[in-house]
Structure 1
Amino acid sequence: MSTEKNKRAVIVGLFVTIGLLILLVGIFTLGGQQKAFAPSINVQAVFDNVNGLQKGDNVWFSGVKVGIVKSIEFNGNSLIKVTMHIERKAQEFIRKDAKAKVSAEGFIGNKLVVIYGGTPQAGAIEGGEHLQVEKSLSTEDMMATLQKNNENLVAITTNFKTVSNRLVNGEGTAGALLTDESLYKSLASTASNLQLAARNSQLLSSRIAEYTAQLQKPGSLANGLVHDTMIMSNLQAAVKQINDAANAANAFTANLKTVSDNLHSSENTLGLLLNDQKTAENMKSIIENLNSGSRKLDEDLEALQHNFLFRGYFRKKARQEEKARKAAEKETMTIP
């Protein structure tokens, strides 16, 4: 009887021991997963919305789990303070000016806190810091954005359907292109004309190139103008002479205009003779008087020739003139 009691006690003790071992292994396993026994420091972040974040959720830095969420509590004014356990081995990599945001593992996975950013100049966290936060889109916000995009897509699809119906019905320019054969033929004719114009342009370009090559040919006028400095000097001299001649012609024209203006003016003798009728009549009368006086003088000289007092003088003069004439004739005849 005592042997059976001892055996039962041993079995019970064995099961209790095994249960305790399993319990201890479970505790250590869960503690290792939750980083409960790893050396850590605490940092805080204040969010206006944690989007379902819970105590015990993971904290990631650069895609690596570095801690867990220790506590979540209200901080007044609808703000929520989240305290995080951060492993000391990750402490040196997280900077004091780093930022934190609430994210999720995948699209609908568990919530977590993501720590990112920071500059080397800020130094590593030491514990007790309040990290800056960035508002992240919640699932509801993403669903609302997706719903808005769906509405926009429906509107675009509706518009495309309307456009396609108008194309099928031949409405508008594009519809007419699809259904109107005459318009198609007109466009085909226009395209043919454009091709012809393009060929003509190409031909014109080739001819211009040939003409340019001819201009560059040695011995041509264009080549001489470009390369022969003497031709350019002569042209410049000729242009200068033409300019001088033009200036002289302008001066001559100006002088003629001045003379013409003087002829039309009554302030000079010639203009007075041309424009003043009374002066012209006086000049005519003076000329008539001179002619009359000349005729009377001729008559007086003729009368003097027949006067006995001057008759010898005029005869002597006539003989001298006759003698001079005969000497001149004789000299002319002796010249071979």
Structure 2
Amino acid sequence: MSTEKNKRAVIVGLFVTIGLLIFLVGIFTLGGQKKTFTPSIKVVAVFNDVNGLQKGGNVWFSGVKVGTVKAVDFDGSSKIRVTMQIEKKAQEFIRKDAKAKVGSEGFIGNKLVVIYGGSPKAEAIEGGEQLQVENTLSTDDVMATLQKNNENLVAITTDFKTVSSRLVKGEGTAGALLTDATLYKSLANTATNLQQAAHNSELLSSRIAAYTAELDKPGSLANGLVHDTMIMANLQAAVKQINNAADAAHTFTANLKSVSDQLHTNDNTLGLLLNDPATAQQVKALIENLNSGSTKLDDDLEAIQHNFLFRGYFRKKAKQEEKARKEAEKNSKP
């Protein structure tokens, strides 16, 4: 009897031992998956929308799992604070200026946090940092975009159906092209004319090229202008002379303008004569006096000629002038 009890105790002990081993293996297995026993640090990120992210979700960095989501809590009025537990061995690779966004494992898989970016010059995270976030489109947003695109596709299909129906009926320009033979012939004639115009343009281009080649021949004016340095030097000299003449004309015009301006002032003789009425009146009176004096002088000379004292002198002078006139007439005859 005691032997059976001992066997029973041994069996019970074995079962209990095996159960404990299975329990411990399960604990360590789950702990390894959740990184419970792995040295880690905590970082946080605040999102507007986590799109269904839950506690225990994975945290990825460069496509590698580096931690898990420790907590998902409300932060303020509409923000969501996500606390992440990052493995200690990945700490040196994640920079303080790295960003976090909510992603998913596949198109409809579990939600996770993706850490990416960060400049090499930035320091590595130490624990307790709040990472910058990038707001991504939720599944609802993607579905709404797809729905909108579907509506646009339906509208495009409807429009295409309308256009194809009008083409079949011969409506519009394109429809007329497909159904009206006369219009087609007109377009064919137009295409022929365009081809002829293109051919003419080609001929014109070849003739222009030939003419250009003729201009480039030695001895031509164009060739001389391009290659003869003497012609260019002469042209430059001529241009310089023209510029000098223009400068001289400008100087002459400026001087003429200066003289004209002085004629409008009273600080010079001509300006005074032209602009001062009193001076003009005095000059007029002076001229009248000179005329009067000249008339009186003529009268005095006439009186002297008739005076008996000077009568002989003037008669002798008259005879000499008459003699000189006759000799001049005699010399002028052939």
The TM-score by the shorter chain falls in which range?
0.5 to 0.7
Count of residues in correspondence between the two structures: 237
Which residue matches 1:37?
37
Deviation string, structure 1 residues 67-122 (Cα, Å, up to 9, x no partner): 00111222231322211111111111112222222111111100111112223343
Distance in 1 separating the partners of 2:161 and 2:205: 48
Deviation string, structure 1 residues 244-296 (Cα, Å, up to 9, x no partner): xxxxxxxxxxxxxxxxxxxxxxxxxxxxxxxxxxxxxxxxxxxxxxxxxxxxx
TM alignment of 1:95-106, pairs within 5 A = 95-106=95-106
Distance in 1 separating the partners of 2:212 and 2:49: 78
Which residue matches 1:138?
138
How much has 1:193 moved relative to structure 2? Answer: 1.1
Q: Percent identity?
A: 80
Which residue matches 2:53?
53
Distance in 2 separating the partners of 1:203 and 1:170: 40
Which residue matches 1:185?
185
User: 1:139/1:221 Cα in 2 relative to 1: closer, same or farther (>3 Å)?
Assistant: closer
User: 1:183/1:40 Cα in 2 relative to 1: closer, same or farther (>3 Å)?
Assistant: same
Secondary structure in 1 matching 2:103? strand
Larger of the two Rg values belongs to structure: 1
Structural RMSD (CA)? 2.7
Which residue matches 1:92?
92
TM alignment of 1:1-336, pairs within 5 A = 1-218=1-218
Deviation string, structure 1 residues 190-209 (Cα, Å, up to 9, x no partner): 11111112222222222333
Unaligned residue ranges in structure 1 (runs of 5+): 238-336
Deviation string, structure 1 residues 198-257 (Cα, Å, up to 9, x no partner): 222222222333333334444567656766758x97xx99xxxxxxxxxxxxxxxxxxxx
User: 1:39/1:210 Cα in 2 relative to 1: closer, same or farther (>3 Å)?
Assistant: same
Which residue matches 1:277?
none
Distance in 2 separating the partners of 1:16 and 1:62: 44
Unaligned residue ranges in structure 2 (runs of 5+): 239-334
User: 1:225/1:35 Cα in 2 relative to 1: closer, same or farther (>3 Å)?
Assistant: closer
User: 1:180/1:30 Cα in 2 relative to 1: closer, same or farther (>3 Å)?
Assistant: same
User: 1:76/1:223 Cα in 2 relative to 1: closer, same or farther (>3 Å)?
Assistant: closer
How much has 1:183 moved relative to structure 2? Answer: 0.8
Distance in 2 separating the partners of 1:114 and 1:17: 42
Secondary structure in 1 matching 2:108? coil
Distance in 2 separating the partners of 1:227 and 1:113: 76
How much has 1:167 moved relative to structure 2? Answer: 1.4
Distance in 1 separating the partners of 2:222 and 2:154: 70
Distance in 1 separating the partners of 2:222 and 2:128: 89
Distance in 1 separating the partners of 2:144 and 2:37: 42
Deviation string, structure 1 residues 47-75 (Cα, Å, up to 9, x no partner): 23221111111011111111001112222
User: 1:203/1:42 Cα in 2 relative to 1: closer, same or farther (>3 Å)?
Assistant: same
Distance in 1 separating the partners of 2:151 and 2:54: 34
Secondary structure in 2 matching 1:120? coil
What amino acid maps onto 1:156 in structure 2? Answer: I
Distance in 1 separating the partners of 2:219 and 2:76: 99
What amino acid maps onto 1:38 in structure 2? Answer: T
User: 1:43/1:221 Cα in 2 relative to 1: closer, same or farther (>3 Å)?
Assistant: closer
Distance in 2 separating the partners of 1:194 and 1:79: 68
What amino acid maps onto 1:177 in structure 2? Answer: L
